[in-house]
Structure 1
Amino acid sequence: MKTFAPTLLLVGACAGLAFAQSEPSRRIGAAAFGDWRLDAPGSWRKISPADLPAPLASAPVASRSQVVARPDGAAPRTLAGFSAEVFASGLEGPRVIRHAPNGDIFVSESIGGRIRVFRSQEGRIAPASSHIFASELERPYGIAFYPPGPEPRFVYVGTPTAVLRFPYRNGDLKASGPAETIAALPWDGGHWTRDLVFSRDGATLYVAIGSKTNVAEGHPRPSAQEIAELEKAHGVGAGAGAEFERATVIAIDPDGKSRRNVANGLRNCSGLQLQPETDALWCVVNERDMLGDDLPPDYATRVKEGGFYGWPWHYIGAHEDPRHAGERPDLASKITVPDVLFQPHSAPLGIAFYDGGQFPAEYKGDAFVALHGSWNRAERTGYKIVRLSFKDGVPTGEYQDFLTGFVVDDTRVWGRPVDVAVARDGSLLVSEDGNGTIWRVSYSGAELGADAGQVKGK
């Protein structure tokens, strides 16, 4: 494998364009469906299950974006008082960002097949140094430290086919030993992201496993007896055949011995996090394609023990997918409705709860989500970071545009956000794999005005 060194850049605060709105827009229901032209830092949206159009109200399209080099002077736009600067560039498919207890920043480079470590230095935007912790990996994605807390002994890494772990001590910049396979994971094509998070006590490792297909088209259908046996062992809505143990979140112990399905019917959960206030497990999900521009919404949700989220027979509650009409009416009353619905085909990949001390107080307890961007939509959407509103630890269902500006025009984009993480200093780190960059969003202390917390209802 070739040696690859990222470019570490220090860019002044002027690179992040503040974008203030005296009267932020609020788009509710059908008005929340639109395209990238409506995106603006400060704008709010809320979509409810009752707002969904009929299946195939618009014809399905394939409209993949063309990723181009970042134009000269281009930078994300954000709210007044915030700025966005380049933290690091030149990475090969940066995906998940996690910070070690000592403050080092771990990043999975899925295209490059490695885990990279950035060591930051107080008072600097760009990291002081970059190191390869592990390389020659099969599309690494999720990263977790074990045990949780100040003195981890291992770094866990999720790949399409396995959960691996490397020996680790605080401050290690390179794995001190080879990878150990903790658990094999199902993989025969389809969604390959495998995110990881430990329970707070370290007793359970949660692993997200996406589906093999869009909606399990053409798969053999188990008999009623087979379904009963499958669901008794693996939960309501458990997948069968090529989709066995897919579209699910599983739980294993740190040594990979015990194993169970936590929740089913999550088509492609690419983000796993614990909510700090409640320790609830959260996930962001890419929903199915080819039902039209505005169907179905992607979402963020609490992952409930024993929950079933509909895939492939239903979506967003008891809405039946016409491609599986009449197949599982028994499931319609057993579906868990997600907490926050996004514009369809936005492709959420990462979530982070804000527990830092740099942003204004009204951000505490809210969450940020990275939207990778649409392909199955005539009107392009996604390609931004949004903020989810919480009140007393409970999601309100609303979300706000926080970081936009990655789209050039109807066909071209220069950035595809993947993950978000709160750094030790309270800034927000954002990975994007279009041009292999990590951005740092910081708050300077300027007044936010009405385009931030005042419209939140906190």
Structure 2
Amino acid sequence: MRTPTLPALLIHVPLILALAACAQTENVRTGKAAFAGWQADAPGVRRHIKPSDLPAPPAVTAADAEKSIANPAKIVSQPQGAVPKVPEGFAVQVFATGFKKPRTLRTAPNGDIFLSESDAGRVIVFRPDASGASTKTKVFAENLDRPYGIAFVPAVNPQYVYVAAANQVVRYPYRSGDLKAAGPAEVIINNIPTKRHWTRDLAVSRDGQRLFVSIGSASNLGVAGMPDMTPEQIREHERIHGRGAAWGEEANRAMVRVFDPTGKNVRTYATGLRNCSGMAMQPGTDNLWCVVNERDHLGPNLVPDQMVRVQEGAFYGWPWYYVGSNEDPALKGKRPDLKGNVRVPEVLIQSHSSALSVAFYDHDAFPAEYRGDAFVALHGSHSTPDKTGYKVIRVRMKDGKPTGEYEDFMTGFVLDKDRVWGRPAGVTVTRDGALLVSDDANGTIFRVVRR
């Protein structure tokens, strides 16, 4: 796909209205029904996967750890007349199009929209007009290695924009309304390893004194890059790097790290997160959440992707365990000391859905019951016979805590068992309360509004 020139981005994009093709359902799919593939997807369909619903793992060995069922979807152009499906009462518009792998979307305090155009190595800024449509568009920063995470520091009156590229975290001087970085990139964290997982997201605490960066694993299960260590060596490693921290090729990976705004005091915050691709601070709190891509070698229904509250010092299982004290059979008996010390995720999402980003809804433009819930973009599976993901889901919250349920919000990207025309990647809530969704298959950003 051709990288758009800036003049092309300034062209007004036609409005596309998409009314829901199906009615909301009051039933929640549980048990085996919760694992149904793309044919069961539709706006309003609800699922609740519980740890007790998980099947027994297959008998696999360490030699099987990097194997998975390869079933990549064929990406095709958006068919004429095809539009994403959303719940009744909502409509979808094209906000902008013509990008090379548009991924993370973030809304600046002044309402500008920042986009990581990962394959083009740049960050784009949009300034919506009064109607919410994309008008003024500029390149904020470029010459980056697969930029992904974006954060504004401090949150209320930012002085810097931080960008997490695959290999480093940088920051640019910024004043509200800047459409181009006011100065060159300042390297904050350097030499982040780039093998395999490269999506580095960022989040910032409410007081702006702590920033968080997620760094995914270098492998599926770490068996080739983590030589055995003695219990004494493991204890010494964990003393420095944290409980459950991986080592060898996986050192300082599969974790969330925390640092101060100048890049000093970088340390481990949480471990055992195979690939925390998207992070968000829950509005009004210092609760850090991330959505996690889990391992691929245990069949179509293991291991579920997750949305977890990231707690300091917590261990989430990878590579030895999953969803609590379920031991990965490929690493059987390797770390009995960790059993019982694995934090269980708050929300389990269909395995291999590839959860990439999360945004909380804290506005009034959508119906009142949406306030406080979270939207998660599911990029779509490649290692299961029956496709999962390729949609945006709404994670249901009650009194600030997940109920465990999630609901299909935007679907319709899968054409059949072989072909898809869209892959949701980024989500953000705009200042006027609309939801923006980036589709990196066809380079489009959609805007969802209440009709």
TM-score normalised by L of structure 2: 0.95
Return the alpha-carbon distance in structure 2 between the equivalents of residues 142 and 435 of structure 1.
Answer: 21
Return the alpha-carbon distance in structure 2 between the equivalents of residues 17 and 89 of structure 1.
Answer: 21
| Structure 1 equivalent of residue 30 of structure 2 | 28
Return the alpha-carbon distance in structure 2 between the equivalents of residues 250 and 95 of structure 1.
Answer: 21
SS, match of residue 333 in structure 1: coil
Return the alpha-carbon distance in structure 2 between the equivalents of residues 436 and 183 of structure 1.
Answer: 29
SS, match of residue 291 in structure 1: coil
For residue 58 of structure 2, what is the amino acid of its counterpart? L
1:68 aligns with 2:76: yes
Q: Deviations over 1:36-89 (max 9, x none)?
A: 100010010000111111213899411001111111111100100001111000
> Identity rate of aligned residues, in percent?
52
Q: Deviations over 1:95-124 (max 9, x none)?
A: 111111111100000001000000110024
1:315 aligns with 2:322: yes
How large is the Cα RMSD of the aligned pairs? 1.6
Return the alpha-carbon distance in structure 2 between the equivalents of residues 327 and 394 of structure 1.
Answer: 34
Contact 1:268 1:286 in 2 (8 A): yes
Return the alpha-carbon distance in structure 1 between the equivalents of residues 227 and 24 of structure 2.
Answer: 56
1:97 aligns with 2:141: no
| Structure 2 equivalent of residue 78 of structure 1 | 86
Relative distance call for 1:383 and 1:89 in structure 2 (3 A) is: same
| Structure 2 equivalent of residue 298 of structure 1 | 305
Contact 2:91 2:449 in 1 (8 A): yes
For residue 245 of structure 2, what is the amino acid of its counterpart? A
What is the deviation of 1:250? 0.3
SS, match of residue 128 in structure 1: strand
Which of 189, 197, 203 matches 1:197?
203
Relative distance call for 1:115 and 1:122 in structure 2 (3 A) is: same
| Structure 2 equivalent of residue 451 of structure 1 | none
Return the alpha-carbon distance in structure 1 between the equivalents of residues 194 and 388 of structure 2.
Answer: 29
| Structure 2 equivalent of residue 133 of structure 1 | 140
What is the deviation of 1:18? 2.1
Return the alpha-carbon distance in structure 2 between the equivalents of residues 235 and 23 of structure 1.
Answer: 44
Q: Which runs of 5+ in 2 are unaligned?
A: 61-66
SS, match of residue 293 in structure 1: coil
- More displaced stretch, 94-103 vs 37-46: 94-103
Relative distance call for 1:41 and 1:3 in structure 2 (3 A) is: closer
Return the alpha-carbon distance in structure 1 between the equivalents of residues 229 and 116 of structure 2.
Answer: 38
Contact 2:170 2:186 in 1 (8 A): yes
For residue 173 of structure 1, what is the amino acid of its counterpart? L
For residue 273 of structure 1, what is the amino acid of its counterpart? A
What is the deviation of 1:226? 1.3
Relative distance call for 1:280 and 1:154 in structure 2 (3 A) is: same
Contact 1:104 1:118 in 2 (8 A): yes
Which of 334, 341, 345 matches 1:334?
341
- More displaced stretch, 218-227 vs 406-415: 218-227
Which of 94, 111, 114 matches 1:106?
114
What is the deviation of 1:259? 1.3
Relative distance call for 1:20 and 1:249 in structure 2 (3 A) is: same
TM-score normalised by L of structure 1: 0.94
Contact 2:290 2:308 in 1 (8 A): yes
The number of equivalent residue pairs is 441
Which of 121, 125, 129 matches 1:121?
129
Q: Deviations over 1:117-137 (max 9, x none)?
A: 00110024x311211011111
What is the deviation of 1:13? 5.0
Which of 162, 169, 174 matches 2:175?
169
For residue 385 of structure 1, what is the amino acid of its counterpart? V
Return the alpha-carbon distance in structure 2 between the equivalents of residues 386 and 188 of structure 1.
Answer: 29
Return the alpha-carbon distance in structure 2 between the equivalents of residues 163 and 432 of structure 1.
Answer: 24
| Structure 1 equivalent of residue 353 of structure 2 | 346
Return the alpha-carbon distance in structure 1 between the equivalents of residues 444 and 220 of structure 2.
Answer: 29
What is the deviation of 1:290? 1.5
Q: Which runs of 5+ in 1 are unaligned?
A: 445-458
Return the alpha-carbon distance in structure 2 between the equivalents of residues 369 and 127 of structure 1.
Answer: 23
| Structure 1 equivalent of residue 365 of structure 2 | 358
What is the deviation of 1:216? 0.3
Return the alpha-carbon distance in structure 2 between the equivalents of residues 157 and 107 of structure 1.
Answer: 11
What is the deviation of 1:363? 0.5
- More displaced stretch, 250-259 vs 180-189: 180-189
| Structure 2 equivalent of residue 222 of structure 1 | 229
Return the alpha-carbon distance in structure 1 between the equivalents of residues 43 and 3 of structure 2.
Answer: 39
